[in-house]
Amino acid sequence: MTNAQLKTLLGVIESKMDSTKKGVAVVEDMRPVVTNCTVDIICQTAMGIRVNAQQAWIDWEKSGTDHAKKTPESEYADAVRSFLDIVLHRFISPWLYLDFMFRLFPSGRQSAAHVRTMHAFTNKVITQRKAEMEARFDYSMSVEQAIKHISEGSRMDFLDLLLVYHLKGQDDFDLVSIREEVDTFMFGGHDTTSTTLHFALLLLGLNRDKQVSLFVCFVFVWVSKIHCLQQALIHEELDSIFGDDLERDVTADDLKQMPYMEMCIKEVMVW
């Protein structure tokens, strides 16, 4: 997660807080907040593009209409989210398991439309990125040399790496294969990450008053598989790193000083 996306996420959370609930500021539904954030992150990681899903969602809510101004990027983000919702609906609907039956239902036709939207957008991004790379690509270099050359001075995303192999004539990396790889990376990275974050926030919220030692907590987890994630101890760990400075960016060195946070996230993944 980049610091820019983190700040956007915090801004979205603040805008969604409702102080009328139970006398404290709460966010009733974190699912779209977290999901839009992970869509932003994975799109930048996989394809090197900014879809601004978080901001588009806020703009859509403020407009109060389905006809809010959309960009190709926001349409792609909407298609990703809607397609995953249909996948979940199909999973819990046995009568939709057979493809020919699924295509007869509105959800099946909507799914096909979302797939066309995603493929059209991904194909456009791949074509544009390929043209940009061809203009500065040195075909005399080996794959390793080309990767090093392109990554100098800038971060190399997943799509760029695949295009290097494509331009070097690797048979397994035609444009269709690249699109399939990017799509797999998109869905595998976005859905699993958002689900893990949902459960982590849920368990932290349920155990915010726990003051059990780490050893006792892990013994309890081992015996009953019930997770005691201690929000207070995580808060204390973060305070020891950032103190009163709430504005500075998070660095890689900061992450190395969060062992308890890491343990809690790993326990969520086990659960």
- The residue-averaged pLDDT of 252-269 equals 83
Per-residue pLDDT tens for 76-94?
877 887 888 899 899 999 9
This prediction has a pTM of 0.68
pLDDT tens, residue by residue, 232-242: 777 788 888 88
For 39-48, 178-187, 199-208, 219-228, which range has the lowest pLDDT when averaged over its residues?
219-228
Q: For the chain, give the secondary structure using H, E and C.
A: CCHHHHHHHHHHHHHHCECCCCCCCECCCCHHHHHHHHHHHHHHHHHCCCCCHHHHHHHHHHHCCCCCCCCHHHHHHHHHHHHHHHHHHHHCCHHHCCHHHHCCCHHHHHHHHHHHHHHHHHHHHHHHHHHHHHHCCCCCCCHHHHHHHHHCCCCCCHHHHHHHHHHCCCCCCCHHHHHHHHHHHHHHHHHHHHHHHHHHHHHHHHCCCCCCCHHHHHHHHHHHCCCCCCHHHHHHHHHHHHCCCCCCCCCHHHHHCCHHHHHHHHHHHHC
Q: What pLDDT is recorded for position 107?
A: 94
157-214 pLDDT per residue, tens: 888 888 888 888 776 778 888 888 888 887 777 778 888 888 887 777 776 654 333 4
The answer to whether residue 112 scores a pLDDT higher than 90 is yes
